Structure 1
Amino acid sequence: MKHKLLKRTLPCAALALSFSAAHAAGEAKNVIFFLGDGMGPSTITAARIFKVGEDGNLTMDTLERTARIKTFSNDAQTTDSAPSMAAYMTGVKMNNEVISMSANTVATNPGRDANGNLGVNNCAASNGTAAVTILELAKAKGKSVGTVTTTELTHATPASAWAHICNRNAQYAIAAQLVPGGAGFNTALGDGVDVLMGGGRNHFTPFAAGTNPAGRADGRNLLAELAARDYTVAANKAEMHAAAAGKKFIGLYSSRSHLEYELDRTATPPLGEGASQPSLAEMTVKAMDLLAANSNGYFLMVEGGRIDHALHGTNAKRALTDTIAFDDAVKAALDKAKQTDPTLASTLIVVTADHDHTLAINGYGKRGNPILDINRSYRDNQPNRDADGNTYTTLVFGNGPNRPNVRANLESATVLADNYLQETGVRLSSETHGGGDVKLLATGAGAKAFKGTMDNTKVFGLLKTAFGF
């Protein structure tokens, strides 16, 4: 009897050992990679205080695994978005402005087309070689793949997942890399990226002087070409929600440029095309629904891209609001994934940033003082003042356009307004990226490997390992 019992229990034990070994290796069926563009540590802290106070937590704060990421590029202490995102996607350290190419690739400036629009590809065929991306590897393994962004779909961060080019600004050529069978298609994408969402419809549609002045000079309608390849094409939130699973999908929710800032998208009435644009959380959940139709799993990249743009403009209120919208998308993805995978045993979620900014948090404000307000003392709740006796805000920038020759007294009504631009130390036309390390937070299958201080290129290897590639 004992021998019979032993024979019956051995297969179960072997299965348990096999299961444990698979999860020890960190293999994930699905990977969702969240990128808050420009979301440095100070931006996260300020957004947390703005939303839930000093002792509260954003959803991303609750992820149990953390790491510190070095972000320098191949040729600069402070990176541009293109090589920093490409480092995550390819494991290669490349030059500023280069998208997913070898380290020796030179960022050749793009030219202008016949209509005067910047974006013509001037990359020589001999200028570097393509660096394989994690999205391309996932596609080759039979997984579905997607990118979601609040920027133009052809912008540096989303493009780094699926395009290869020597300069991020050649956006008409970047768009062509998405169209299966078309001129310029990136054949490493197989039958094409399965889910695409963002802005910048002009890079996909023909030039028209009155209605599409930043359209394609070559006359191609890439959206029509994608539709002919059985893509569902959507232009607004309603069409996105109506899209059925089982087909590839592209949603471009602005006729030109990026999606609205979250503060403007939800304004009453919304500005521009904001009324018809989905939130980042809505796009993320819809992308997960569409990608999950593949039983082999998926890779999804989600970018909160307008955090960066607001920081460049030294408009902290919009930057913090977009950071919170990004965090809402993280929460929506966690909730959605746990519906079918309660312990995230087969799903890895990573949240990080491509670079820092020069946003700083001034001391010594009172706990509970509104983070966007003038700085008030923890001693007596009275406004803190500079050496000349003037009030100042808690949030400032190291550089940017808003540096007064002589500082004036600041009032709460002024600094709490939507369009207030924080003061800066060095006067520049636009605030720059910062060179500091950024945070990485992770949960789910393979998350234990994300720890300590690491170069951004090392993340690519951990994503591969998580997938079991």
Structure 2
Amino acid sequence: MKQTFLAAALALSFANSAYAAGEAKNIIFFLGDGMGPSTVTASRIFKYGEDGSLNMDKLERTARIKTYSNDAQTTDSAPSMAAYMTGVKMNNEVISMSPETVATPPGKDANGNLGINNCAATGNGASVATILELAKAKGKAIGSITTTELTHATPAATFSHICNRNAQYAIAAQLVPGGAGYNSALLDGVDVLMGGGRNHFLPYDASSSTGKLGRADGRNLLTELGAKGYTVSANKADMIAAPTNKKFIGLYSSKSHLEYELDRTATPPVGEGATQPSLAEMTTKAMDILSQNANGYFLMVEGGRIDHALHGTNAKRALIDTIAFDDAIKAALDKAKLTDPTLANTLIVVTADHDHTLAFNGYGKRGNPILDINRDYKTGQATKDADGNTYTTLVFGNGPNRPDLRTNLDSATVLADNYLQETGVRLASETHGGGDVKLFATGAGAKSFKGTLDNTKVFGLLKSAFGF
């Protein structure tokens, strides 16, 4: 009887181990850049109310993530995203390199633009493998999409290795199979790429609207990628029409990031926003292409402009971009469940790379608009500071908008699109915060994501889910 019981226990243990490792055919990794806990909460209230739920809130597994970098209590995006992708702690500004790598300043090209390769110095660290490279080696398709420039820190950490995140022209060169500077660990290349910053891929053209922006080496990386079998897209219409049986690169902004969601959907849209797809549309198109691979895929999806709005202390744009990011999560869940109803083969992970200094003020009344002035939960009247002035519920710990002398704020002012929340410490730009961030997960292997984890440990859980 004891032997029978022991055999059954061992069999159950083995089954649980098998469930925990090597069960995910596909992984979709969502990264809300700068999406700290206060941003998540404020976005939930903004869209759904205090008792509502974001789509990410509905994922059944949760954890909290420590985000410090190798040399700083408060990380920047480069080492924090790289920690998720490689399992290695590295210094601020370093992308997917070994811990001792020094973030030497990037060089300047002939036009004075930052971005030439700054990693040629012998002994300045070594590349460390990313989960995309490992997935590619196992025959899976891989993709990296973002609302920032494609060569920005977060997407770059998935496919490149560089000593300084600002060397964006060198980062772009790492994407072209067979070209000078190519990251050969990507084998035949990243299968799906989307974002902004087309100038990093095109030669300098003095007559263009991009001015000095452009490659001083004269290379047209988009032509080179086209010659390697990529469909090259510049707008939403091209993306929709693109075949799903070819590699794809879509760069939807000529010289910068994609527009904020508030501006992309404005009437009329701001800048190039009228031609840009939403993050949800980019996500489902990427899934259509990557799912053609019978071995499965790894897709990274970044809501990158959350971070930029927070740096600018513009909470409204930050919250609306967080909602757009959350909508992309729902779009991915809905699409995955069409062919994988229980997500038995698909793992979806949602997290952030770091926090910001966004904070809640006062004892606001339930139902009070989260971007409005604070109103007392007992009386419903505007609450006031010690000098008798009203204040907003959302503020920042630091940033540029600290008045020398506070005055009364009214709803019309603080609810405007371009209102900048007040800050405690005056700095030129609001900084990241060093607090833990949230992680949500569902699907194949999701039960391993629990407790308080270092960001480097997430990499191991992703590998385990794939069975690597």
- Provide TM-score, normalisation by structure 2: 0.96
| Residue of structure 2 equivalent to 1:275 | 274
2:425 alignment partner in structure 1:
426
**Matches of 1:125 and 1:191 in 2, distance apart?**
27
Counterparts of 1:44 and 1:364, CA distance in 2: 19
How far is 1:22 from its partner? Answer: 3.8
2:163 is aligned with 1:166: yes
Q: Is the 8 A contact 2:20 2:447 kept in 1?
A: no
CA distance in 2, matches of 1:381, 1:182: 64
- Hey, what does 2:139 align to over in structure 1? 142
Aligned to 1:10: none
Match 1:196 to one of 163, 186, 193: 193
The aligned residue for residue 29 of structure 1 is 25
Pick from 175, 180, 194 the counterpart of residue 177 of structure 2: 180
SS of structure 1 residue aligned to 2:159 = coil
One-letter code aligned to 1:58: L
Deviating runs (4+, > 3 A) in structure 1? Answer: 16-22
Structure 1 residues 427 and 20: CA distance shift in structure 2, 3 A: closer
Could you tell me which of 52, 56, 59 is aligned with 2:48? 52
Structure 2 Cα separation of the partners of residues 49 and 126 of structure 1: 50
* Offset at residue 115 of structure 1 (A): 1.1
C-alpha distance in 1 between matches for 2:417 and 2:122 = 47
Equivalent pairs: percent with the same residue? 81
Code of the aligned partner of 1:139: K
Contact 2:24 2:465 in 1 (8 A): yes
Q: In the alignment, which residue of structure 2 is the partner of 1:334? A: 333
How many residues are aligned here?
455
Shift of 1:112: 1.7
- Listed as ranges, the matches of 1:3-152 within 5 Å are 22-25=18-21, 27-123=23-119, 124-152=121-149
- Matching residue of 1:12: none
Measured in 2, the distance between the counterparts of 1:17 and 1:130 equals 37
Structure 2 unaligned spans of 5+: 1-11
TM-score normalised per structure 1: 0.96
Q: Which residue of 1 aligns with 2:367?
A: 368
How far does residue 26 in structure 1 lie from its aligned partner after superposition? 5.0
Instruction: Determine the C-alpha separation between the residues in 2 that align with 1:197 and 1:74.
Output: 29
1:60 maps to a residue whose letter is M
Matched, 1:205 2:202: yes
2:21 and 2:234 map into 1 onto residues whose CA distance is 41
RMSD: 1.4
Q: Is the 8 A contact 2:20 2:465 kept in 1?
A: no
Q: Following the alignment from structure 2 to structure 1, what is the Cα–Cα distance between the partners of residues 15 and 231? A: 38
**Aligned partner of residue 126 in structure 1, secondary structure:** coil
Aligned counterpart, 1:242: 241
Q: Which amino acid aligns with 2:86?
A: T
1:219 aligns with 218
| Contact kept? 2:21, 2:466, Cα under 8 Å | no
Contact 2:20 2:448 in 1 (8 A): no
State the partner residue of 1:4: none
Q: How does 1:337-416 map to 2 (within 5 A)?
A: 337-416=336-415
Residue 21 (structure 1) shift: 6.1
- Shift in Å at residue 20 of structure 1? 7.2
Q: 1:122 & 1:136 partners in 2: Cα distance?
A: 22
- Asked if structure 1 preserves the Cα contact closer than 8 Å seen for 2:20 and 2:464, the reply is no
Q: C-alpha displacement at 1:278, in angstroms?
A: 0.2
2:238 is the alignment partner of 1:231: no
Q: Helix, strand or coil for the counterpart of 2:166? A: coil
CA drift of 1:17 comes to: 11
Residue type of the alignment partner of 2:421 = Q
Question: SS at the partner of 1:458?
Answer: helix
5 Å-filtered alignment, 1:276-315, equals 276-315=275-314
Q: CA deviation at 1:210?
A: 2.5
| Alignment partners' CA distance in 2, 1:186 and 1:235 | 24
Q: 1:244 to 1:354 in 2, by over 3 A?
A: same
User: By how many angstroms is 1:267 displaced?
Assistant: 0.2
Q: Distance in 1 between matches of 2:122 and 2:163?
A: 10
- Give secondary structure in 1 for the equivalent of 2:271: coil
- Whole-angstrom CA distance in 2 between matches of 1:101 and 1:389: 52
Contact 1:26 1:447 in 2 (8 A): no
**Cα distance in 2, alignment partners of residues 54 and 24 from structure 1:** 34
* Whole-Å separation in 1 of the counterparts to 2:152 and 2:258: 12
Whole-Å separation in 2 of the counterparts to 1:230 and 1:172: 22
Q: Which runs of 5+ in 1 are unaligned?
A: 1-15
Q: How far apart are the structure 1 equivalents of 2:377 and 2:44?
A: 19
Does the 8 Å CA contact 1:373/1:412 hold for their aligned counterparts?
Answer: yes
What letter matches 1:194 in structure 2? D
Tell me: CA distance 1:281–1:180, structure 2 relative to 1, closer, same or farther (3 Å): same
CA distance in 1 between counterparts of 2:134 and 2:52 reads: 38
